[in-house]
Amino acid sequence: MIIQDTIRLWREEKKAIILAHYYTKPEVQDIADKVGDSLALARYARDTTARVILFAGVHFMAETAKILNPEKKVLVPDLQAGCSLADSCPVDAFARFIKQHPRHKVISYINCSAEVKALSDIIVTSGNALQIVQSLPQEQPIIFAPDRNLGAYINHVTGRQMLLWDGACHVHDQLTAEQVFALKQEYPKAMVIAHPECQGSVLALANFIGSTAAMLNFVKNNPHEEYIVATETGILHEFQKQNPTKQFHVVNNAKSCQCNDCEYMKLNTLEKILNALKNEQPEILLTPDLIRQAAIPLNRMLKN
């Protein structure tokens, strides 16, 4: 029996749902019940009636699933699947920063630890950050964490001056305007699409900026045949599935390397998914207090 069939049997046996992010390996996306961006996956996790949630993504996403549906058992294929952006905001330093700015509302991007979420007033994702920030009165001072690039982009669009935590994603932050220019010269008819975790100089060259799901939607509904893509490579799988005749050129800092693979996302493999389902391990465990505190800003986001 092939491993995919064995996983399906165990999924049924354990009454589990498999959720996967668009940055995971193609074979992981293909076995999942639901594939999505972080906003869609948070909603699926909140709404599922399955007994077990197997989360193929990164640690903060699985934590989010546990916070939104604490009665469920949440499993991850590999506990080492972290996130450089979440790691760039340690909770103690962030708590001190908040204390220094007591009038500010704290808006945190979902790519942060459960402890940082618990210190925040509202959580956002790349799919709703702009809309949620715009819903607050213009005069309201805001701390935005942890992604300085997404924060700067929102400041640019809204004319606000949110205080930005100095964090970044190592995958998106390394992409440069020069790399985009070089690809534009090679493929002059291509449209540039970018994730807002990229630097401002890259975003300035983009025809469209949005979350992974928003980029997929843009390409699906756009007549252009060619795209220069500034984000993680895993998204190409769904791009090609949905748009078999269109061409995609990934911005990369060297043709020979897989530099915009997120190594954390790629830790999710079929073998580890099978083991996690069989053993019901590794499991995400959070204290009831942390779940209660972190659920408040997450549910504020989901009500929007």
Transcribe 7-61 into DSSP letters.
HHHHHHHTTEEEEEETTS-HHHHHH-SEEE-HHHHHHHHHH---SEEEEES-HHH
Q: Which does residue 84 bind out of ligand SF4, ligand 13P, none, counting CB within 5 to 8 angstroms by kind?
A: ligand SF4
Q: How far apart are CA 249 and CA 240, in angstroms?
A: 12
Which residue lies nearer to ligand SF4 by CB, 20 or 50? 20
Q: Which of 153, 165, 227, 264 binds ligand SF4 (CB under 6 A)?
A: 264
Q: Binding to ligand 13P (CB under 6 A): which residues in 108-127? A: 111, 125-127
Q: Binding to ligand 13P (CB under 6 A): which residues in 200-239? A: 211-212
Which residue lies nearer to ligand SF4 by CB, 50 or 58? 58
Q: Binding to ligand SF4 (CB under 6 A): which residues in 34-73? A: 58
Shortest distance (Å) from residue 302 CB to ligand 13P: 14
Q: What share of the chain is helix, strand, coil (3-state, %, to 5)?
A: 45, 15, 40
Using alpha carbons, list the distances in angstroms from residue 15 to 47, 50, 70: 15, 6, 16
CA angle 277, 37, 154 (to 5 degrees): 145
Count the neighbouring beta carbons within 10 Å of the beta carbon of residue 223.
Answer: 5
Shortest distance (Å) from residue 285 CB to ligand 13P: 22
Q: What is the pattern of x (binds ligand SF4, CB under 6 A) and - over residues 130-169?
A: ---------------------------------------x
Amino acid at 158: T
Q: Is 84 in the site for ligand SF4 (CB under 6 A)?
A: yes
Q: Which does residue 38 bind out of ligand SF4, ligand 13P, none, counting CB within 5 to 8 angstroms by kind?
A: ligand 13P
- The phi and psi torsions of 53 (rounded to 5 degrees) equal -110, 115
Q: Is 116 in the site for ligand SF4 (CB under 6 A)?
A: no
Q: Binding to ligand 13P (CB under 6 A): which residues in 130-169? A: 169
Q: Are 20 and 62 in contact (CB under 8 A)?
A: no
Size of the site for ligand 13P (CB under 6 A): 10
User: Which residues would be at the binding site for ligand 13P (CB under 6 A)?
Assistant: 37-38, 111, 125-127, 169, 197, 211-212
